[in-house]
Structure 1
Amino acid sequence: MKIQENLEFIDVLKRAEKLLYSNINFILFLFLCSLPLFCFLIFFELSLQTTILVASEYFSQKVKFWGYYYNVPQDHALLKNLVSLLLQTFLFYLFPYSLLDLLTTTTIVSASSLVYRCEEEPLRLSQLVQRTIEICRNRIGGCLITSLYILLMSTSVFFGFFFAATNYLYIISLIGLGDHTYRYYISIEEDVVIDTTTPTPMLLTNGNVFEDLNPSRILFGSVMAMFHGAIFIVLLAKFSKWSAGWNMGLVVSVLEEEEEDGQGIYGTDALALSSYYGRGHEKPGLWVMLVFLLFVLAMRIPCLCLKCSESSSGNGVLYTSFYVGLICVGNVIKWVASVVLYHDCRTRVLEKKGDVEIGSKAKAFAT
């Protein structure tokens, strides 16, 4: 494909779409290789939804009771269930999901590059399968090492998200705390009680608590919400930018090889080479990752709100299957777009390098 002066996000998507529609065998092959990941993701997403709902229920209880009672109710059964679900989801993510995702990604990248570079008639399905298996067989070890580096770095970013969320919940809980050392109640009527020892008196009527919030407390809560919201936005932008480079590094591990021994490039070398290729052209990759990340979140939020994993009618499973299918389609488009970006950036670098070498030789000849 012809190289443009400045490749924008829309141009990347157009090229990816053109590549997908260029060969019907290519689409069929991508569908078949994404099928195992699709089937496992349905099970994994239901497990993830249950984990998030249980965690939300547990932490909402903590936030609800912090600052209002001496003895916070301890739901040990809920906590035990939460820990079990967290461990189960982590193990599912670490081994079956990561391995299936790596195999699917390697296959998509290999096939996309073959179709992208093919200047002859469209490849037949048997040719596509044979050449893709040959590339994956020689590169899967290096891709595994690169993916472990990426997993380590992405996990550190997720810890940043988790720390920010936990810190915000803790600060919000502190806003309602008062001096509980000497708390007493004055009874006014039979079913009305006023707590006079808190910084802002609380009126309890028939078991309901109404708190007259201090304006300074509301202002402090708003400032904390804006502060942690800014942290989330910055982390999201950085994660999208870094993810674009990490994805390019994985593409490098699949498609690049050393000139001397023909071995693949992987690990830190692949990530460094991807940074070199993408220097000055980070914006399209950032938008590809940001749009895909927001798309995945938008697909999951309705299912979390409707509690699809708890639906007994089966509609939750159907909707989960529907949005998992959309996520798999988006995953294919993301990796095809990453291959387009890789070839475009690599060609630019090689052409610039060739122009510099030609200029150096011409200057040496002239002198």
Structure 2
Amino acid sequence: MESENSCSTQKQKLEVSDILSKSVMVYLRNLNFIIFTFLTSLPLFCIMVYFEIYLQEILVETFNIFNLSYGHLPLYDIDLISRFNKDYFLKLIFVGFIYMVPLYVSEFVSAAVTVDLASKLHSREKKMTLKEMFETPFDLSRLRASFVTSIYVLFLTTTHQLGLLWIVLNYHVFLKGTSFYVLLAVICSMAFAKVLRMYLEGSAMWNMSLVISVLEGIYGVDALAVSAYFSRGNHRRGLFLMLIFFAWGHLVRLSCYHIGGYEQGNAIFVQVGLSCMVNQLKWVACMIYFHDCKERKLEKKTDEESGKDVKNGP
């Protein structure tokens, strides 16, 4: 009997492929949901187009600065510093401002609305009309409180991204021209892989905390704590789930960068359109991932309590 129960519980567990397929099915079964997410993500799309143009210009300028012949390290450093002009730093600050204020706020609002509606569609069999989707009440006080959680998520995300950037810059600026190049390249690669793994595992947990804030009404540090509790034993799934979206986003961006997308408006529009589409899918996947992790924990807690009752029974 116990083996039958464990088998039935095992069937309920979702792997990464199951989460992705369920996320896609939420869209395929609801054409109105596709239209709804498209309309609600238009502000994000417009801001992201503006952001990507400036970001790719920065990437091109940075590549030109670092694309030097490597001689002696001190001379290289002096030449390198001279290439960073005032316009470059102002543009860098401007890109950082766009990322941390208008882009992040618009992405947060889009994510919160998508998660809330996707959860309702996921939990009910009846389809909703487009009119019902727009008329569905959304608690604005919960949205404001969820923004507190998003600030924590932004801080944690940015610090890990800066850590990855710091490793890359150290490699290119200080280490690439040294005599121990191969050894240092291996060390930097290992450090980068370690921080990237921490970032991806953390992203799954941080995104879940935002889902918890939107759906459960738990905010800030409490949401992060609940997310950490539900994520125990699920880090591998979260890692691979976030790796898929991370790889997709950077593959699309680098492809656009490679063809000079910032100079060709059509390429940028295609890149941002694909990024917005997958970004919405990511939040639906995070919602399903949260529900599955929550169900696993509740089932485990129920099994433990049942075991205690049997142990303490007559």
TM-score by length of 2: 0.88
Asked if structure 2 preserves the Cα contact closer than 8 Å seen for 1:12 and 1:284, the reply is no
State the Cα distance separating 1:229 from its structure 2 match: 1.5
**Corresponding residue for residue 134 of structure 1:** 138
Corresponding residue for 2:185?
225
* d(CA) in 1 for partners of 2:157, 2:205: 12
Point out the more displaced range, 2-11 or 344-353. Answer: 2-11
After TM superposition, give the deviation of residue 145 of structure 1 in Å. 0.8
Question: Equivalences for 1:1-367 in 2 at 5 Å?
Answer: 4-61=11-68, 66=73, 72=79, 75=82, 79-119=85-125, 121-131=126-136, 133-135=137-139, 137-172=140-175, 175=178, 217=179, 220-256=180-216, 264-309=217-262, 311=263, 316-360=264-308, 366-367=313-314
Deviation at 1:156? 1.6
Q: Do 2:27 and 2:33's aligned partners in 1 also have CA atoms closer than 8 Å?
A: yes
Cα distance in 2 for residues equivalent to 1:338 and 1:70? 44
| Aligned-partner Cα distance in 2 for 1:167–1:139 | 42
Query: Does structure 2 conserve the Cα–Cα contact (< 8 Å) formed by 1:66 and 1:173?
Result: no
The 3 A distance-change label for structure 1 pair 153 and 74 is: closer
Check whether the contact 1:58–1:79 (CA below 8 A) recurs between aligned residues: no
- Give 1:165 shift: 1.8
Contact persistence 1:7–1:284 (CA under 8 A): no
RMSD, aligned α-carbons: 2.5
Instruction: Extract unaligned runs of 5+ from structure 2.
Output: 1-8
User: CA separation of 1:266/1:74 partners in 2, compared to 1, >3 Å: closer, same or farther?
Assistant: closer
Greater strand fraction, Structure 1 or Structure 2: 1
1:27 shift after superposition: 1.6
Q: Which runs of 4+ in 1 moved over 6 A?
A: none
Q: CA deviation at 1:235?
A: 1.5
Shift of 1:55: 2.2
Higher helix share: 2
Q: Tell me which of the two structures has the higher relative contact order, counting C-alpha pairs closer than 8 angstroms and 6 or more residues apart.
A: 2
Distance 1:114 1:70, change over 3 A: closer
Give the deviation of 1:62 after TM superposition.
8.7
Deviation sequence 1:203-235 (CA, Å, 0-9, x none): xxxxxxxxxxxxxx3xx2112122211221222
| 3-state secondary structure, aligned to 1:134 | coil
Read off the aligned partner of 1:327 and give its amino acid letter.
Answer: S
Change (3 A) 1:229 1:343: same
**Identity in percent:** 31
Q: 3-state SS of the aligned residue for 1:235?
A: helix
Counterparts of 1:273 and 1:70, CA distance in 2: 47
The CA distance in 1 between the partners of 2:171 and 2:81, in whole Å, is: 22
Report the TM-score when normalising by structure 1.
0.76
Secondary structure (helix, strand or coil) at the match of 1:280 reads: coil
Code of the residue aligned with 2:132 in structure 1: it is Q
Q: Quick one: distance in 1 between partners of 2:307 and 2:81?
A: 74
Partner of 2:6: none
Separation in structure 2 between the aligned mates of residue 147 and residue 47 of structure 1, nearest angstrom:
24
Q: CA deviation at 1:63?
A: 5.2
TM-superposed CA distance for 1:340, in Å, is: 0.8
Change (3 A) 1:280 1:244: same
Aligned length: 306
AA partner of residue 126 (structure 1): K
Distance across 1 between alignment mates of 2:15 and 2:81: 54
